[in-house]
């Protein structure tokens, strides 16, 4: 077996108030895979993503990168987190400016990223002039402008309407199929995970524990025919079953105690 790009080894994490967010998470992440973390609010999905990004340190266990942690890790947060006083292009320029790159030097990267997300003609627009879906596209473009080897995404489409969300899922899948980044994606939506992923890790409880690891056998490029595929329905049902079973078990424990 080839060496994984990323290994999560017995990860646990406690907050300063003593709350345990994650318990004994272990998983190997292969390069080029699209891995979704699925579970209810409070199960530690976003915390795990922050640990992978190096924004926080685990209380115990290790986040182990093959070789060394890639410098080109892109992070897309749940909110677009755009500077309202800055143009679309200047928002995409931000991480490069923080690295000391001039606007002229960064311009080819800005152009390429905005073209990728379908905003090539909106360089001069301001966030207030964009829809929620467009603002999230700018946030994704900012991450893509780093030409990431790894893309971490924390429920980026959760606040959008269903039609916009499906369209952005389609676009994200097309981009991943073309560029084969390694993506780790946090979502509450079983159906979104089944559409996008090559693998789904299920963390149903509090604290977050890995109870299921579902492989998704599907074409790299997916569309509505995949959403209508019986295998898509079966994956969605299996993951939903794991979540319901864990919730029922937790309820039973509470009633006993």
Q: So where are the chain's domains? A: 6-70+151-256, 83-148
Q: Is 144 exposed, middle or buried (0-12, 13-18, 19+ CB in 10 A)?
A: buried
How much is the pLDDT for 94? 93
Return the percentage of the chain with pLDDT > 90, whole number.
61
Q: Which of 157-161, 172-176, 213-217 has the lowest mean pLDDT?
A: 157-161
CA distance 213 to 249: 19
Residue 200: phi and psi, rounded to 5, are -125, 125
Q: What is the pLDDT of residue 256?
A: 55
Model pLDDT, residue 151: 93
> How large is the average pLDDT for residues 185-208?
92
Query: CB within 8 A of 115, min separation 6: which ones?
Result: none
CA-based torsion, 204, 184, 222, 168: positive or negative: positive
Query: What is the C-alpha separation between 227 and 33, in angstroms, rounded?
Result: 20
In the predicted model, is pLDDT for residue 100 greater than 70? Answer: yes
149 three-class SS: coil
pLDDT in tens, 29-78: 999 999 999 988 888 899 999 999 988 999 999 999 987 666 678 899 88
Span 102-160, pLDDT tens digits: 999 999 999 999 998 889 889 999 999 999 889 999 999 999 898 888 999 999 888 88
pLDDT-derived band at 1 (thresholds 50, 70, 90) equals very low
Which residues, at least 6 apart from 159, have a Cβ–Cβ distance to it below 8 Å? 78, 79, 132
Residue ranges with strand state E in the chain: 6-14, 20-29, 34-38, 60-65, 73-76, 150-154, 182-187, 199-202, 212-215
CA 227/CA 237 separation, integer angstroms = 13
Identify the burial level of 83 via C-beta atoms within 10 angstroms of its C-beta, where 0-12 means exposed, 13-18 middle and 19 or more buried: exposed
* 201 has pLDDT over 60: yes
**Predicted local confidence at residue 248, as pLDDT:** 67
Residue 186 has pLDDT above 80, yes or no: yes
Q: CB of 203 within 8 A of CB of 44?
A: yes
Domain 6-70+151-256 fold is: Rossmann fold (3.40.50)
Radius of gyration over every alpha carbon of the chain, rounded to an integer in angstroms = 19
Query: Using one digit for the tens of pLDDT, what is the confidence trace for 6-32?
Result: 999 999 999 999 889 999 999 999 999
- Per-residue tokens: 137: 């596209």
Q: How far apart are CA 113 and CA 33, in angstroms?
A: 21
- Average pLDDT on 94-107 reads 92
- Residue 252: pLDDT above 80? no
């Amino acid at each position: 077996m080839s060496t994984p790009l990323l290994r999560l080894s017995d990860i646990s994490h406690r907050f300063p108030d003593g709350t345990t967010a994650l318990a004994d998470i272990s998983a190997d992440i292969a390069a080029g895979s699209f891995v979704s973390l699925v579970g209810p609010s409070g199960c530690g999905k976003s915390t795990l993503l922050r640990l992978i990004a190096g924004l926080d340190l685990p209380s115990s266990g290790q986040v182990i990168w093959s070789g060394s942690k890639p410098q080109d890790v892109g992070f897309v947060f749940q909110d677009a987190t755009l500077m309202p006083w800055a143009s679309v292009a200047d928002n995409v320029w931000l991480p490069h400016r923080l690295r000391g790159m001039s606007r002229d030097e960064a311009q080819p990267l800005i152009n390429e990223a905005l073209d990728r997300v379908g905003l090539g003609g909106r360089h001069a627009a301001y966030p207030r002039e964009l829809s929620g879906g467009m603002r999230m596209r700018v946030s994704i473009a900012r991450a893509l402008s780093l030409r990431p080897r790894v893309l971490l995404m924390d429920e980026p489409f959760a606040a959008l309407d269903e039609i916009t969300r499906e369209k952005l899922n389609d676009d994200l899948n097309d981009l991943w199929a073309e560029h084969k980044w390694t993506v780790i994606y946090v979502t509450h939506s079983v159906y979104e995970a089944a559409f996008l992923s090559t693998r789904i890790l299920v963390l149903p409880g509090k604290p977050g524990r890995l109870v299921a690891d579902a492989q998704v056998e599907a074409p790299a490029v997916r569309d509505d025919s995949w959403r209508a595929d019986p295998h898509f329905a079966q994956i969605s049902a299996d993951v939903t079953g794991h979540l319901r079973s864990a919730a029922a078990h937790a309820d039973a424990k509470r009633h006993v105690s």
